[in-house]
Amino acid sequence: MSGWFSRQRSLLDFAVSSLARRKGKTLGLLAVYGLIVFVLASAMLFSHALRHEAKQVLAGTPEVLVQRLIAGRHDLIPDTHLVTIRAIRGVKSAQGRLWGYLFDPAAAANYTLMVPPVDAPAAGQAVIGAGVAAVRDAAIGDVMSFRAHDGALVSFTIQAIIEPESALVSADLFLVAEADYRRLFGIPDGRFTDIVVTVRNPREVRTVAEKIDAALPDTRIILRDEIRRTYESVFDWREGMVLLLLSGAVLAFFIFAWEKASGLSAEERREIGILKAVGWETADVIALKSLEGLVVSLAAFLLGYLLAWLHVFQWGAPLFEPVLKGWSVLYPDFRLIPHVDELQVATLFFFTVFPYTLANVVPIWRAATVDPDQVMR
């Protein structure tokens, strides 16, 4: 066994020295190969990390969301629906929510105006997200004013700014008191944007949703699982769009591998002929050249994957951020938590390393089975 390892180590040393003799070609090969791995790995790492972040965020969303529909459009829901929902067996709690969107002409951006269920700001005060503070250059104690539904001016004093660590979900938030919210939009008492329902037994969520739908035919029931699937579909669509744009790079890689399989250069054929002339067996030559291809492909994969890791988790993925995150004036500035899917890495490894490594075998076998004198001539 030690003799076999010694032989393999010798072959590996010879393969590395052979690649070093063709330094320019090897470095160019590594650059092209590594670049292809880099763009593909960046798209996969970024989209998977975003999916993981979305799952963490959606874990805290309501189990059941009830909205009222009139003529197929979302409408305000009356508090009488709260009484009906709370009377349904299996419902733990039901609470009306007040939220909406407010356009700010000064920043040309939409804010998510919301009344928090607990610890709401005092009347005339507001708590804003880091994105709102940045786009308006606002600080604690500053005053922001908006036109109400009747044209009157409603002013808010900034009470606090939400920490930027939660910018993924709070960048555009504008939290106000219930009275200020109703004054701004002209919403009367006893009306809510939607209703959040908590179910006693998580396994009965769908059953409770069906009961609510039967008791309130004018409502639309949205489950947490449905929201999660919607986000998954959005990320799948955006990742597919990015990979479609990168299909040229993928095609170039397969052309590159095919060109490698189509034949060897005159210098490589001459080297194989010399090795055969000095007594190397065909199997040894194939093993040597396969090791060369494996060294190049592994080095390119590790280099490309490392650069993709730095690009996504250290530098913020500037190449793919606008496409996979979305477009917005209030862009959430946050650092993704490194999260890697082993199956995804294995798939990328298989489709980038194996094709190139196997592509070396056929032309090497052809050259190694020809008479050495004929090869060198």
- The backbone torsions φ and ψ at residue 334, rounded to the nearest 5 degrees and listed phi first, read -150, 155
Q: In sequence order, which ranges of the chain are alpha helices (DSSP H)?
A: 2-21, 23-58, 80-86, 130-136, 167-170, 178-185, 205-215, 224-245, 247-262, 266-277, 282-313, 321-325, 342-359, 361-368, 372-376
Residue 285 Rama label (left phi>0; alpha psi -120 to 50; beta):
alpha
% of the chain residues with pLDDT over 70? 73
Q: What is the pLDDT of residue 322?
A: 62
| Mean of pLDDT values over 2-12 | 67
Which residues are bridge partners to 111 per DSSP?
A: 102
Q: What is the pLDDT of residue 374?
A: 59
252-305 residue pLDDT tens: 666 666 665 555 666 666 776 666 666 677 677 777 777 777 888 888 899 999
| Mean of pLDDT values over 337-359 | 78
pLDDT score of 180 more than 80:
yes
Q: Kind and range of the H or E element at 143?
A: strand 143-147
| Mean of pLDDT values over 31-55 | 81
Q: What is the pLDDT of residue 307?
A: 93
pLDDT score of 111 more than 80:
yes
64-109 residue pLDDT tens: 999 999 988 899 999 999 999 999 999 999 999 999 998 888 888 8
Greater pLDDT, 139 or 7: 139
| Mean of pLDDT values over 123-134 | 90
Averaged confidence pLDDT in the chain = 80
310-330 residue pLDDT tens: 988 888 777 766 655 554 545
Q: Can you give the length of the chain in residues? A: 377
Q: What is the pLDDT of residue 246?
A: 66
208-225 residue pLDDT tens: 999 999 999 999 999 988
pTM of the model: 0.67
pLDDT bucket at 353, cuts 50 / 70 / 90: confident
% of the chain residues with pLDDT over 90? 31
Q: What is the pLDDT of residue 349?
A: 85
Greater pLDDT, 156 or 286: 156
How do the domains of the chain map onto residue ranges? 11-58+233-376, 64-222
Q: What does the alpha-carbon distance between residue 303 and residue 32 come to, in Å, rounded to a whole number?
A: 11
pLDDT bucket at 163, cuts 50 / 70 / 90: confident
| Mean of pLDDT values over 170-180 | 90
By C-alpha distance, which of 227, 193, 222 is closest to 113?
A: 193
Least confident of 127-131, 187-191, 236-240, 308-312: 236-240
| Mean of pLDDT values over 139-145 | 93
Q: What is the pLDDT of residue 253?
A: 67
